[in-house]
C-alpha cells in the first residue's frame, strides 16, 4: 500500500485542500530577530502545491529562503506562491513543470537561475502512485509514468542542479522517498521499486557532487494526506503496532526536512532518513 505521494498526478503529494491553504494564509510573517537558517538561499520544491510538498515549501520560506513552487498546474503554483509572499514576505515564484518529462526539467532549472541567479536547495518531492486492480493489469504506460515521476525526474533534476551547485561552491539536494522502498507491497509495487531507485540515486548523487553538495533523502511513512482516506482498517491496525501507534500529520515532516537542508546537518550526506513513526523499526 502506498504510504506517500500517491496522488495520480505528477504535481506533488496527496494533501491539498482549502484547510491547508487557509492555514498558510493565517500564518504571520517572520518576527524580527527570529532565527532564519535559510536566509539568503533560493529553494526549488517540486510537488509543492499539495501534501508534504506544501508543508515543506512553506517551512522553507518561513526559514528565510526565496522559493520556487513547482507543480504541474501553473494556477496552483501561482496560488501557493501568492500565499507565501503574503505570509512570509519572501520572494516566491510559481513554475509549472511535469517532472516526468525530461525536456521540461532543464527549462525549470534555467527558469530558477533566470529569476534568482542561483539555486541553493532542491527538494525532489513530486510523486505518484496510481491504484490498479492487480499486478498483471499494470500497463506499460502506467509503469513508465510511475518511474518517470518518482525516479527519472528526480535523477535528472538532481544531476542538473547538483552540477551547477557544485560549480557555484555548494548546495543541498533533498529527495522525498517512501518506506515503500523497503516495505514493498503488491498494492504499490512499481511505486516501491521507483522509490528504492530514488534511495540509490541519493547515495550516488552524494558521491558525485560532494564534498560541496550534500544529498540526502527522507523516507516518509504513513501521513494523513488524501490517500489516508482510502486506507482500510487492516492497514490502520498495522500502523497501531508501530512504536508511535499512529499515522503522521503533514507538518511533522518539517523538522527532518529543515534539519537536512540547513547547517544543522553539515556533516550528513548520502543518508536516507526514515520519518515513519517507527514503521521500518518494526519487524515485518
Cell matching residue 145: 509514468
Which of 271, 231, 275 minimizes the C-alpha distance to 249?
A: 275
Q: How far is CA 113 from the centre of its chain?
A: 20
Which segments of the chain does DSSP mark as H helices, in order?
17-26, 51-62, 74-88, 102-116, 140-147, 153-168, 189-209, 233-239, 254-261
Catalytic annotation, pick one of 113, 143, 191, 209 = 191
**224 contacts: CB under 8 Å, gap ≥ 6:** 15, 247, 248, 249, 250
Q: Judge whether 191 counts as a catalytic residue.
A: yes
Residue 209 CB neighbour total at 10 angstroms? 24
Of 4, 5, 38, 54, which is closest to residue 259 (Cα–Cα)?
Answer: 38
User: Which residue's C-alpha cell is 482549502?
Assistant: 18
Q: Tell me which residue of 259, 220, 262 sits closest to 127, measured CA to CA.
A: 220
- Report the DSSP pairing between strands 92-96 and 121-124: unpaired
121-124 and 42-46 beta bridge pairing: parallel
Enzyme catalytic residues = 191
Amino acid at each position: 500500500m502506498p504510504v506517500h505521494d500517491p496522488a495520480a498526478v505528477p504535481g506533488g503529494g496527496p494533501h491539498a485542500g482549502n484547510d491547508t491553504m487557509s492555514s498558510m494564509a493565517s500564518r504571520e510573517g517572520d518576527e524580527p530577530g527570529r532565527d532564519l537558517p535559510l536566509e539568503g538561499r533560493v529553494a526549488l520544491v517540486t510537488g509543492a502545491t499539495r501534501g508534504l510538498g506544501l508543508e515543506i515549501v512553506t517551512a522553507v520560506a518561513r526559514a528565510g529562503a526565496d522559493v520556487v513552487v513547482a507543480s504541474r498546474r501553473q494556477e496552483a503554483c501561482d496560488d501557493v506562491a501568492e500565499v507565501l509572499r503574503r505570509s512570509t514576505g519572501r520572494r516566491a515564484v510559481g513554475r509549472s513543470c511535469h517532472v516526468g518529462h525530461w525536456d521540461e526539467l532543464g527549462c525549470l532549472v534555467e527558469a530558477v537561475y533566470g529569476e534568482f541567479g542561483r539555486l541553493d536547495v532542491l527538494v525532489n518531492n513530486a510523486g505518484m502512485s496510481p491504484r490498479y486492480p492487480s499486478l498483471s493489469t499494470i500497463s506499460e504506460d502506467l509503469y513508465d509514468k510511475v518511474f518517470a515521476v518518482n525516479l527519472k525526474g528526480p535523477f535528472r533534476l538532481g544531476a542538473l542542479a547538483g552540477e551547477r551547485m557544485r560549480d557555484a561552491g555548494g548546495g543541498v539536494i533533498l529527495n522525498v522517498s517512501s518506506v515503500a522502498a523497503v516495505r514493498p507491497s503488491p498494492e504499490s509495487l512499481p511505486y516501491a521499486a521507483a522509490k528504492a531507485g530514488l534511495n540509490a540515486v541519493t547515495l550516488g548523487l552524494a558521491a558525485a557532487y560532494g564534498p560541496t553538495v550534500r544529498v540526502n533523502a527522507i523516507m516518509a511513512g504513513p501521513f494523513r494526506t488524501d490517500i489516508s482516506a482510502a486506507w482500510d482498517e487492516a492497514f490502520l491496525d498495522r500502523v497501531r503496532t508501530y512504536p508511535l501507534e499512529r499515522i503522521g500529520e503533514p507538518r511533522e515532516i518539517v523538522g527532518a526536512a529543515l534539519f537536512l537542508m540547513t547547517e544543522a546537518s553539515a556533516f550528513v550526506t548520502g543518508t536516507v532518513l526514515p520519518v515513519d513513526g517507527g514503521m521500518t523499526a518494526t519487524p515485518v
